[in-house]
Chains A and B, each alone.
Chain A
Amino acid sequence: MNIQIDSDLKLAMAVQPDRKPMGRARKAWALARRYSQITFGGTLLLILVLISILAPFLGTIDPRAMDTLSRLRPPSAAHWFGTDMLGRDLYSRVLYGGRNSLMIGFSVMVISAVIGTLIGLISAYIRWLDGVIMRIMDGLMSVPSILLAIALMSLTGASLTTVVTAISIIEIPRIARLIRGTVLSLREQPYVEAAVTSGSGPFRIIFRHLLPGTVSPLIIQSTYVWAVAMIIETMLSFIGAGTPPTIPSWGNIMSDGRALWQVKPYMVFIPGVFLTLTVLAINVLGDGLRDAFDPRIALRK
């Protein structure tokens, strides 16, 4: 997307040192433009995260407070995003709902990154277990994720923990496969072979030589997991198999608005816009990180 801008900037930066050293602010600005996707995605994500963290200070009221006298009000000065069928303030629900949606996505990302890395490492390192583990991962990956989550949710009943667990189980195989592949190729690198020959123990090799090499693919993949997890949470809640209805999340707010969406479309579209912006921010950030980390793209530039 930004190849043109990037190459212009590269030229500009190459000329720069001959004139005078760049100030700190200019350097930061040049960096921000150099990695424009990371800047855009990161800033947008930061704003959305701040909005949900600061929800209590942004003119919200209790997102669960019902006011039966003002039900289904369109957006107004008193209720910026209107009210739902129970008279709850949608602006407050969307902001507080963002906390839950972001937290669910973030938790899934952390849990599946940690467990997936562990499984991937074990699979790549203990060869006789590799076949078994990878067949299990293949099996898990061949169940369409929404259905897998539905099956898990229908058995355990709705709670935040089960939503996070169900989505994490879906995402773990993807991380495990990635880490296994990365570690397998790192193991063949001369520096790792040298470490093995010079008598380093397995733990030293894993923590000192193999894990650092998995960090950049892991970070990139994890951002996508965060985005995907938020979309799955929304879809599950939307069909009534996700976050319990008492807890506001973007999926639940949209699910509430579903019955009336033809007359009050904003009840679905406002939380939808917030969700889309968040997922977009995370995806753009992930694309930017991928391009920044990928040595082939760096070389091309």
Chain B
Amino acid sequence: MLRYALQRIIMTIPVMAVVAVFVFGLLFVTPGDPAVVIAGEQASPAEVQAIRVAMGFDQPFYVQFGLWAQRLLSGDLGTSVFSREPVVELIAQRVGPTLSLLFGGLIIALLLSVPFGIYAAANRGKLFDRAFTAITVLNFSIPNFIVGYLLVSIFALGLRWLPVQGYVPPDRDLGAYLLGMILPCLTLGMGFASLIARVTRASMLDVLSQDFIRTAKAKGADRNRILFAHALKNASIPIVTIVGLGFASLIGGAVITESIFAIPGLGRLTLEAISHRDYPVIQGLVLVFSAGYVLVNLAVDLIYVLLDPRIRY
């Protein structure tokens, strides 16, 4: 197990290296002078030259990449062109709200999807199952900001149960923080729930048609015991896999959700960086988000071993 874990961790290195080269190289393959791109179209030649020297664009590509990679490995993501602050610090300041949102969204997605997916599979072809399939396809087709606006219209503007937008840090007022996170987490979780629910249903159907389930039924096991103890355990690998793979879309959704609910997290930082054409910050954010995604999928691979004792590496 330890050996497998180590091997799997080593396998993430080339993937992250590709991401790093890609993010860095992007600045060079896009047409135009990168210094001009960063400075913006209204910048004077002197400003452009200052950026060119500061960013090291006057040196050959491989020298620049070497320097950049060296600093990256020591945890330095460069300096923001706009605020002149280190990118690492900018990201550290904003990471809290985004982590809350991702975690909350994931919990809501799992709570909404797995129970309904199991129930739909257990009642295959019945009214509930057909309604379930129709609702998941519909929900899957609605962009998440529309879901967000609908939720706000109903629960904040209509019923006035929850705040429309804004973010209160948990150390200032825990109650307000939790209330404020309900709608953003629901917005983020609902779209993801459809995907997990569909996979749960398909995976459960697959397992429920196998011989050991028939045996369990024949020996008179309780229906719920068959569903949860026998079937769900065996159906969980595809579910965990889709949670890992779907994490990328969850991150994308978080960027949009933060912008709807005015949550000062990494998504908002991304949008601010776009409007300032602050490429070092965008670079840092893409790297951090990709590393998060790779780590989540590393965790998923390690969870496989816990879920299925037959998997031995």
Q: Tell whether, in the assembled complex, residue B137 and residue A284 are in contact, meaning their CB atoms are under 8 Å apart.
A: yes
Contact check, B19 vs A139: say whether CB atoms are below 8 A apart: yes
Per-residue CB proximity of B288-300 to A under 8 Å, as 1/0?
A: 0110011001000
Contact of B282 among A150, A227, A238, A284 (CB under 8 A): A150
Interface string of A268-288 (1 = CB under 8 A from B): 110010011001100110010
Contact of B23 among A145, A151, A156, A261 (CB under 8 A): A151
A193 at interface by CB-CB < 8 Å: no
Closest-CB distance, A221 to chain B (whole angstroms)? 15
Docked Cα-Cα span, A141 to B37, in Å, equals 26
Select the stretch in B26-34, B44-52, B57-65, B225-233 that faces chain A: B26-34
CB of A262 within 8 Å of the partner chain: yes
How many residues in A have their beta carbons less than 8 Å from beta carbons of B? 45
Q: Are A147 and B14 in contact (CB under 8 A)?
A: no
A131 — nearest CB in chain B belongs to which residue?
B14
Is A150 within 8 A of B290, CB to CB? no
* Contact A227/B23 with A147-B252, A154-B277 known, Cβ cut-off 8 Å: no
Q: A239 to B137, Cβ gap below 8 A?
A: no
Assembly CA distance A1 to B132 (angstroms): 9
> With A and B bound together, what is the CA distance between A140 and B23 in angstroms?
10
A265-B153 in contact given A138-B18, A139-B15 (Cβ < 8 Å): yes
| Contacting residues, chain B, for A231 (C-beta < 8 A) | 143
In chain B, positions 107-143 with a C-beta closer than 8 Å to chain A are 124-125, 130, 133-134, 137-138, 140-143
Q: Are A143 and B22 in contact (CB under 8 A)?
A: yes
Q: Indicate the member of B23, B124, B143, B251 with the most A CB atoms within 10 Å.
A: B143
Q: Summarize B's interface: helix, strand, loop or mixed.
A: helix
Distance (Å) between the CB of B19 and the closest chain A CB? Answer: 5
Report whether B271 and A269 are in contact in the complex, using a CB–CB cutoff of 8 Å: no
* Bound complex: CA A143 to CA B248 (Å): 7
Known contacts A151-B26, A151-B286, A152-B26; is-contact A269 B252 (Cβ 8 Å)? no
CA distance A247 to B134 in the complex (A): 34
Q: A152-B26, A262-B157 are in contact. Are A4 and B125 (CB under 8 A)?
A: yes
**B279 and A276 contacting across the interface, CB-CB below 8 Å:** no
Contacts of A265 in B (CB 8 A): 149, 153
Q: Does A190 make an interface contact (CB < 8 A)?
A: no
Tell me whether B282 and A151 are in contact (CB under 8 A).
yes
Complex Cα distance, B15 from A136, in Å, reads 7
Check B22–A155 contact: CB distance below 8 A.
Answer: no
CB-nearest residue of chain A to B258 = A239
The contact of A155 among B27, B140, B289, by CB within 8 Å, is B27
The distance from the CB of B109 to the nearest CB of chain A, in whole angstroms, is: 16
A76 interfacial contact with B, CB 8 Å: no
Q: A279–B146 Cα gap in the complex (Å)?
A: 13
User: For B297, what are the chain A residues with a Cβ–Cβ distance below 8 Å?
Assistant: 142
Inter-chain CA distance A238–B19, complex, in Å, is 26
Give every chain A residue within 8 A of B274 (Cβ-Cβ): 150, 153-154, 239-241
Contact yes or no, A276 B142, CB < 8 A = yes
> Using Cβ atoms and an 8 Å threshold, which residues of chain A touch B141?
227, 276, 279-280, 283
Chain B, 245-304, CB within 8 A of any chain A CB: 248-249, 251-252, 255-256, 259, 270-271, 273-275, 277, 279, 282-283, 285-286, 289-290, 293-294, 297
Does A299 belong to the interface (CB within 8 Å)?
no
9 more contacts with CB within 8 A, not counting A142-B248, A145-B249, A283-B137, are A1-B133, A139-B22, A143-B286, A144-B251, A151-B23, A151-B26, A153-B274, A154-B277, A284-B137
| Sampled A-B contacts (26; CB under 8 Å) | A1-B130, A135-B15, A140-B18, A140-B22, A142-B290, A142-B294, A142-B297, A143-B19, A143-B289, A144-B248, A144-B249, A146-B256, A150-B274, A154-B274, A238-B145, A239-B256, A239-B271, A262-B164, A265-B149, A268-B146, A269-B146, A272-B142, A276-B142, A276-B143, A279-B141, A280-B141
Residue numbers of B with Cβ under 8 A of A are 14-19, 21-23, 26-27, 30-31, 37, 124-125, 130, 133-134, 137-138, 140-143, 145-146, 149, 153, 157, 164, 248-249, 251-252, 255-256, 259, 270-271, 273-275, 277, 279, 282-283, 285-286, 289-290, 293-294, 297
